[in-house]
Amino acid sequence: MQDPNLLVGSSTSDDAAVYRLNEELAMVQTVDYFTPMVDDPYSFGLITAANALSDIYAMGAKPVLALNIVGFPINELPLEDLVAILQGGADKVKEAGAVIAGGHTIVDNEPKYGLAVTGLVHPDRVITNAGARPGDVLVLTKPLGTGIIATAIKGGLADEAARADALEVMITLNDRASRVMSEMGVKACTDITGFGLLGHLYEMVAASGAGSRIYLEKVPLLNQVRTLAEIGMVPAGAYRNLEYLEQWLRWDSNLDDLDKLILADPQTSGGLLIAVPGEKAGYFIEALLAAGVDGAQIGEVIESGEPLIYICK
Ligand code: CO
Ligand code: CO
Ligand code: CO
């Protein structure tokens, strides 16, 4: 029998688990770790921590405590690299107002870094994948394209501007968007990571028993993403995501394969995808802007039907 205090477990593909401690307080827990997606070890630390913290923010919670998880080839790479990775993680966790309280390191062939993060939230204010309702507007808080740009960086085809834009997006915390969403009593959110916009939207509408419609032209993209995709800088994960999701998608006939791959591009430390009741949407986007977050209205939640996601131009 499941513990009744486990408010969110693994059944709804949510970003983190939620456990009720008492009437006033629930604990939110998540773990994420990666191999490096950028060359610079300090940036790798910043990005990884922002990404791990994001699952706490997506649940409407506040991060309080984090533990490092580290794999490092101590005989092949300089120790300074490890120090820089951990410094990046520590700086980002500090920015989030949380603390790193230790962790565990093993010798590994390939560097790996991540964090287990604990957050706190009032049990009545937990925001999950399952809370989206027909009539809600879908808001996305960061542009897409970090997977495509990371692929171009590896291929030596991304210029400095593209690299800097992607880094800025990946190291930006989802804290402000999360705070606005909690203040406004939003019920449904997820963050966009490896499963891409379409994959995480699918998880949200499936968990909510709803359907959705999104508009390609309203989805914000990082600069140069389309151009880089046109020259083949599309990560294998985007193809895998599309293949897996295909049965739940319906495309307008004027969309091309590149459009589809961009919407399925795996993101690292992506934005929040938030479902807001239609009548509150305008006010919500203004509140985001006032908090320094550029939220884009990219579509809406509709009644459940087959397929679960319609994509229009
Ligand atoms: Co997540
Ligand atoms: Co995660
Ligand atoms: Co969630």
Q: How far is the CA of 293 from the centre of ligand 3 (A)?
A: 19
- Provide the greatest CA pair distance for the chain: 59
The per-residue pLDDT for 188 is 97
Interval between CA 189 and ligand 3 midpoint (Å): 5
Question: Per residue in 144-187, pLDDT tens?
Answer: 999 999 999 999 999 999 999 999 999 999 999 999 999 999 99
Query: Tell me, what's the pLDDT at 2?
Result: 82
Residues spanned by CATH 3.30.1330.10 within the chain? 6-125
Query: Could you tell me the distance, in angstroms and rounded to a whole number, from the CA of residue 173 to the centre of ligand 2?
Result: 14
- Ligand number nearest CA of 200 is 1
State in Å: Cα 11 to ligand 1 middle: 14
Identify the CATH number of the domain defined by range 129-312. 3.90.650.10
What are the E-state strand segments in the chain? 6-8, 17-20, 26-34, 62-72, 99-107, 112-121, 136-140, 188-191, 211-215, 249-251, 272-277, 296-302, 309-312
Separation of 117 CA from ligand 2 center, angstroms?
A: 10
Q: Ligand 2 centroid vs 211 CA: distance in angstroms?
A: 23
Residue 137 and residue 300 in contact, taking contact as beta carbons nearer than 8 Å: yes
Fold assignment, 6-125 = 60s Ribosomal Protein L30; Chain: A; (3.30.1330)
Judge whether residue 283 has pLDDT over 90.
yes
Could you give the residue range(s) of every CATH 3.90.650.10 domain in the chain? 129-312
CA 94 to chain centroid, in Å, comes to 20
Report the pLDDT value the prediction gives residue 1, as an integer from 0 to 100.
63
Q: What number is the average pLDDT over the span 218-227?
A: 97
What pLDDT digit, counting tens, does each position of 121-147 carry? 999 999 999 999 999 999 999 999 999
